Amino acid sequence: MTNEVKLNTDKMLEDLLAMCRKNLRTVDEKLITKAFNLSHEAHQNDIRISGKPYFTHPYEVAMFVAEEIPLDDISVVGALLHDVVEDTGISIKFLRTEFGDEVADIVDGVTKIGGVFAGHEITQAENYRKMLLSMVKDIRVILVKSADRLHNMRTLDHLRPDKQRRIAKETLELYAPFANRFGLGRVKWELEDLAFKFLNKEAYNEIARKIILKRNEREAYINIFKEPIAKKLKDHGLEFEIGGRPKHLYSIYRKMIKLNASFEEIYDLLAVRIILESNDDNECFYVLGVINQMYKPISERFKDYISIPKKNNYQSIHNTVIGPDGKVVEIQIRTRKMHEIAERGVAAHWKYKESLTSTDADLADWVNWIRDAFENASKNEATKEILASFKLNLYQDEIYVFTPNGDLKRLPRNSTPVDFAYEIHSNIGFHCIGAKVNGRIVPLDTRLNSGDQVEIITSKNQSPNKSWLRFVTTHKAKADIRKFLNRAEEKLVETGRELWIKKIKKLKLVFTSEDISKLSRKLKYDNPGQFYRDIALDKLNLDDVLSPEETKDEQAVPELEFDKFADQERKKIGNVIVDEEHKGIATSFAKCCNPIPGDPIIGFITIGEGIKIHKKDCKNLISMAQTHSDRLVPVEWPHANGSMFAAGINLSGEDVPGILKDISNSITTYKNTNIKAVNINAVDSIFEGTVTVYVNDIEHLNRLMERLKNLKSVYHVERFEHNKQ
Ligand code: MN
């Protein structure tokens, strides 16, 4: 190439090795040199869109890994080689023999991520799935990929605007939250600010301009603010660094949007950071005490992330005080080590030669969860849903709550007891039926707050409810509930299908799958699955479906029949008589006890509906009368038809020959009682039915019932009445 910039590769390699020696515990210089040379040679004929030799890209990525997120030499080698498989003819197999499995796997992971996105629709669930899976296989894939993305974002200017937007959006939605989750604070901030720049240039430039305008004023104030603190801390012999904390453009922008505030309102919140050169966490609290003596603290804003670190291991004290001139100043207090972890996340742990801490175990859990969720999600549909909640969760703030034993659980903001239950164990979630928060029983959709102590009440018989999906927050709860519901649904469909097959076998019918589709459509189902489901739920009567022309079973429905009967008898006898004082007020019959002529009755004055007539022994009436006895009104049935009224008697017994005759004899031979109607059905050897008779009064009716009870084959006798109070 004629326009090729001549690279000083000797110096480049020496710089890289020097950086590795400075930041890494062990450096395989031979391996790094070998990777450097291979990468340089492989990319020799490629140039970037910027016009620079392509090799500058993997080199810068490797340099960033060695300098900013140093983990080990393998990561640096991986960074140098991360594009050789995708862009040149070199195979993973070759890398495996030349550089070993670790390097080959890292390059393979990073390559897969790149391949997934090259020119494709980035929001496709399947692509995310692949990416997440390769990312979580080896944490170093994340380091290299983050550094790769950062360098690409830094050099994004040279791309077409539509490509810029696509890559920026993806960076903001996925890479930045990912970097944050792995504790790569500095990478996260820069990715966000760069993405913001390409997605909303106007807002970005406006904020950047205003920051420059305010810089001097701001620095002057911070100097005034920090001076007495610095002096005091020095007097106490502490070694520390204190200074204004840079505010990131995107975070200012986001706060402006979220709080609907102006730039000034957000930016005037001044931020100071104190980093202690000490290994003693307690010194942070000591410094806090010094500051709070000097400036008045706003205690509601105090946060102690030292005692309770964030999920990504972040530790610091956040304190807010009122500074000179009444300005609000936020102060972060942390040790150097905490600061390293805040900026470099997982990479910092290696530097401090740490073994796994509890929060690293959290990270391992989280990584396992991703692997689980995405590897098992076979259907594209389900993956989409998991991803939606997953992406949401990446952004959310955390709350921390406690188990009854005092164990800490971190959850996204807006989590509920159901989220908490699933966080402890899927089985607790599945069977959770209630919850106590700080000792009090609360509804399952209650939003939890930091500091809450949560106890879950479970029941063997409980199972997840569809409505839970409306309020749960964590991806774990959502995925588990959905999984359960899908399984339950499948089971229902299966049961329904079995019932259906049994039925048509019995009736010797033949249905093709075409016929079944037709039938389900005719019955207004979207698919046969829903048809089977309703069969299983007993919502669909197969006899009706299979023989629609067959006349409906005309068995009496007592509830409805009785209403009709009562209505008819009341009409026949005429209006109830109300006492003089309340004459003229409209009357109607209470639905709760539905009195019929002959029942002892009483009126109750309602608000707006006149007088309701109840049976004297109506439970509703008795309870209302306890507080409103003044509203009771004496009423009685009109004395027409020689005081005869119709009453129904339900009876059942053994269906022996002549039973109907025995029953009617028993009735008519007593006081010449007239039978109005008889409706008796026999099934197998049992009969049951209703006899309607004309009686003078309740006494008369009771006697008849006694007589019926005395019949040998009659087992049960009761008044046909509306007694479901
Ligand atoms: Mn790259």
Which of 67, 87, 98, 360 does the annotation list as catalytic?
87
pLDDT number for residue 386 = 53
Q: Who wins on pLDDT, 132 or 193?
A: 193
Which of the four pLDDT bands, split at 50, 70 and 90, describes residue 690?
confident
List for the chain the helix, strand, coil content (%; round to 5). 55, 15, 30
**Which residue is it, tokens 């390769």?**
134
- Lowest-pLDDT range of 268-277, 442-451, 518-527: 518-527
pLDDT number for residue 375 = 54
The per-residue pLDDT for range 106-130, each reduced to its tens digit, is 898 887 765 544 444 444 555 555 6
- Spatial neighbors of 284 by CB under 8 A, at least 6 apart, are 276, 306, 317, 333, 334, 335
Q: How far is the CA of 91 from the centre of ligand 1 (A)?
A: 16
End-to-end CA distance of the chain: 95
**Dihedrals φ, ψ of 509, to 5°?**
-100, 160
Task: Using the predicted structure, report yes or no on whether residue 37 has a pLDDT greater than 60.
Answer: yes
In the structure encoding, which two tokens stand for residue 97, read together? 């023999």
Q: How far is the CA of 112 from the centre of ligand 1 (A)?
A: 12
**How far is the C-alpha of 235 from the C-alpha of 695, rounded, in Å?**
107
DSSP-derived secondary structure for 560-618: HHHHHHHHHHHHHH-PPEE-GGGTTS-EEE-TTT---TTS-EEEEE-SSS-EEEEETT-
- Spatial neighbors of 207 by CB under 8 A, at least 6 apart, are 249, 252, 253, 263
DSSP 171: I
In the structure encoding, which two tokens stand for residue 156, read together? 């994004």
**How far is the C-alpha of 350 from the C-alpha of 73, rounded, in Å?**
12
pLDDT number for residue 376 = 52
Q: Is 533 exposed, middle or buried (0-12, 13-18, 19+ CB in 10 A)?
A: buried
Q: What Rg do the C-alpha atoms of the chain give, in angstroms?
A: 40
Q: How far is the CA of 58 from the centre of ligand 1 (A)?
A: 6
Instruction: Give ∠ CA 270-346-18 in degrees, rounded to 5.
Output: 95
Segment 299-306 mean pLDDT: 86
The per-residue pLDDT for range 400-429, each reduced to its tens digit, is 788 888 777 878 888 999 999 998 898 999
- How, if at all, do strands 328-335 and 270-276 pair? parallel
DSSP-assigned beta bridge partners for residue 456: 435
The residue type found at 377 is A
Segment 436-464 mean pLDDT: 88
Q: How far is the CA of 461 from the centre of ligand 1 (A)?
A: 54
Active site residue 86: yes
Q: How far is the CA of 108 from the centre of ligand 1 (A)?
A: 13
Q: How far is the CA of 155 from the centre of ligand 1 (A)?
A: 11
Q: How far is the CA of 124 from the centre of ligand 1 (A)?
A: 21
Q: How far is the CA of 60 from the centre of ligand 1 (A)?
A: 10
Range 4-21 burial, b when 16+ CB lie within 10 A, else e: eeeeeeeebbeebbebbe
Which of the four pLDDT bands, split at 50, 70 and 90, describes residue 373?
low
- Spatial neighbors of 340 by CB under 8 A, at least 6 apart, are 348, 351, 352
Q: How far is the CA of 148 from the centre of ligand 1 (A)?
A: 5
Which of 28, 67, 86, 304 does the annotation list as catalytic?
86
Alpha helix stretches (DSSP H) within 200-322: 201-235, 249-259, 263-267, 282-294
**How far is the C-alpha of 18 from the C-alpha of 58, rounded, in Å?**
17
Share of the chain above pLDDT 70, in %: 85
**Which residue is it, tokens 């008849």?**
704
Three-class DSSP category at 531: helix
- Residue 702: count other Cβ atoms within 10 Å of its Cβ: 12
**How far is the C-alpha of 106 from the C-alpha of 114, rounded, in Å?**
12
- Spatial neighbors of 175 by CB under 8 A, at least 6 apart, are 145, 146, 149, 191
Which of the four pLDDT bands, split at 50, 70 and 90, describes residue 131?
low
Q: How far is the CA of 87 from the centre of ligand 1 (A)?
A: 9
**How far is the C-alpha of 272 from the C-alpha of 560, rounded, in Å?**
77
Q: How far is the CA of 45 from the centre of ligand 1 (A)?
A: 16
Q: How far is the CA of 107 from the centre of ligand 1 (A)?
A: 10
The residue type found at 710 is N
**How far is the C-alpha of 215 from the C-alpha of 590, rounded, in Å?**
79
**How far is the C-alpha of 138 from the C-alpha of 256, rounded, in Å?**
37
Which of the four pLDDT bands, split at 50, 70 and 90, describes residue 364?
low
Q: How far is CA 351 from CA 61, 64, 138, 362, in A?
A: 20, 16, 18, 20
The per-residue pLDDT for range 182-200, each reduced to its tens digit, is 778 889 999 999 999 999 9
Segment 28-57 mean pLDDT: 91
- Residue 200: count other Cβ atoms within 10 Å of its Cβ: 15
The per-residue pLDDT for range 559-605, each reduced to its tens digit, is 456 777 778 778 877 788 888 888 878 888 888 888 887 788 899 98
In the structure encoding, which two tokens stand for residue 56, read together? 């500058």
Q: How far is the CA of 7 from the centre of ligand 1 (A)?
A: 19
**How far is the C-alpha of 617 from the C-alpha of 626, rounded, in Å?**
13
Nearest to 594 by CA among 576, 573, 622, 615: 615
Q: What is the pTM of this model?
A: 0.55
- Mean residue pLDDT across the chain: 81
Q: How far is the CA of 151 from the centre of ligand 1 (A)?
A: 8
Per the CB < 8 A criterion, the answer to whether 535 and 500 are in contact is yes
Three-class DSSP category at 690: strand
Three-class DSSP category at 710: coil
Nearest to 71 by CA among 102, 39, 40: 102
Q: How far is the CA of 654 from the centre of ligand 1 (A)?
A: 89
The residue type found at 385 is E
Instruction: Give ∠ CA 634-638-643 in degrees, rounded to 5.
Output: 120
The residue type found at 155 is T
User: 680 in the Ramachandran plot: left (φ > 0), alpha (ψ -120 to 50) or beta?
Assistant: beta
The per-residue pLDDT for range 333-349, each reduced to its tens digit, is 999 999 988 888 766 76
**How far is the C-alpha of 55 from the C-alpha of 60, rounded, in Å?**
9
The per-residue pLDDT for range 247-264, each reduced to its tens digit, is 789 988 988 888 888 888
- What domains can you pick out in the chain, each with its CATH number? 3-184 (1.10.3210.10), 203-344 (3.30.460.10), 398-473 (3.10.20.30), 483-554 (no CATH), 560-636 (no CATH), 645-720 (3.30.70.260)
Q: How far is the CA of 147 from the centre of ligand 1 (A)?
A: 9
User: 328 in the Ramachandran plot: left (φ > 0), alpha (ψ -120 to 50) or beta?
Assistant: beta
Q: How far is the CA of 111 from the centre of ligand 1 (A)?
A: 9
**How far is the C-alpha of 338 from the C-alpha of 314, rounded, in Å?**
7
Q: How far is the CA of 367 from the centre of ligand 1 (A)?
A: 24
Q: How far is the CA of 86 from the centre of ligand 1 (A)?
A: 9
Q: How far is the CA of 175 from the centre of ligand 1 (A)?
A: 14
C-alpha dihedral sign at 479, 484, 485, 486: positive
The residue type found at 662 is D
Q: How far is the CA of 102 from the centre of ligand 1 (A)?
A: 18
Q: How far is the CA of 375 from the centre of ligand 1 (A)?
A: 26
User: 654 in the Ramachandran plot: left (φ > 0), alpha (ψ -120 to 50) or beta?
Assistant: beta
Range with top average pLDDT, 65-74, 374-383, 544-553: 65-74
Q: How far is the CA of 387 from the centre of ligand 1 (A)?
A: 25
Q: How far is the CA of 323 from the centre of ligand 1 (A)?
A: 46
